[in-house]
Structure 1
Amino acid sequence: MPTLRHATIDDATLIGEHRHAMFIANEFATEEQLAAMDANFLPWVHERLADGRYVGLLLEEDGKVMASGGIFFMDFPPHYLHTEPGRPYLLNFYTAEEARGKGYAKRILQASIDLCRERGYKVITLHASPFGKPIYEKANFAQTNEMMLKL
């Protein structure tokens, strides 16, 4: 049975590796783009792991991290859907190829939802990959009207 644990600062590099692998698996970017992202991501996640704004959840099996996910507790203004400031944003969900189909992502997702609920949040947001969308939909996440402009 895999063990779920919270990431430490020492896991920052692993979180970056999983993030990189997630984008590769989804064919979202080139290696050149991902290398630039990686260089900026490591100090970002390290700082946020240290101050608690990022909570990493790691699922280990036989001493190896097989799946991971993160919660970024970002600054966000009070909103009519949640009057408290701040909003949790789920990101970096990744399952190693050999571990897919075992419910690991679902387990990390439920742990993320539970943690956000325990902290009193009323809304959780994320951007779903094609792989993740069915898992999030089964957990009652709904598509919103968010738009993006790339500058």
Structure 2
Amino acid sequence: MTLPAGFTLRLATPADAALIQAQRDAMFVDMGSDPARLAAVHDAGVAWHARTLAAGTYTGLLIEGGGEVIAGAGILWTDLPPNADTTATTRAYVLNVYVQPAHRGQRLARALMQAALAECRARGVDIVTLTASDAGRPTYEALGFTPQAELKLLIPGGPL
């Protein structure tokens, strides 16, 4: 993984939870989500990121440039049974991939993904999944990700 000059990569800490959630909120706004609905879950998202970073069930990767965090990505580590594709019981779900608009086009998302995949390899994880936006899909496909069938159900009367 190579970063452009002037950028550095670091691991997130629980102290970065609010920053990660702010990037997540911006990512969803970019994809057309309602900012008011995102604001309603912001604090819960900050608490979730702080808790999972502290527990080690989420790894955050942050790129800094010019004295600020300008991009980030996360890996959620899940415990699942072996299947026909792997005997490994830890899988990775990549989420929160975000680059500030002013810094897009510099291959920072690709660098974050390469770092995330290196972390997966280091942990012996051989199945990595993610949900791609239309804008992110070409980056993920270039790294070898392939579409898969997945369904979603929102149960009425849930917390939101």
Aligned to 1:129: 133
- Say whether residues 1:22 and 2:24 are aligned partners: no
| Counterpart Cα distance in 1 of 2:114 and 2:130 | 14
Q: Deviations over 1:94-132 (max 9, x none)?
A: 000100000100000000001101110110000001111
CA displacement, residues 32-82 of structure 1 (integer Å, 9 cap, x when unaligned): 210122122111111110011111000111211111000010222222212
**What CA RMSD, in Å, does the superposition of the two structures yield over aligned residues?**
1.0
**1:79 partnered with 2:83:** yes
Match runs of 1:1-151 below 5 Å:
1=5, 2-27=7-32, 29-151=33-155
Q: 1:82 touches 1:121 (CA, 8 Å); kept in 2?
A: no
TM-score (norm 1): 0.95
Q: Name the aligned partner's letter for residue 24 of structure 2.
A: R
Unmatched tracts of structure 1, length 5 or more: none
Number of matched pairs? 150
CA distance in 2, matches of 1:34, 1:51: 24
* Matched residue SS, 1:146: coil
TM-score, with structure 2 as normaliser: 0.90
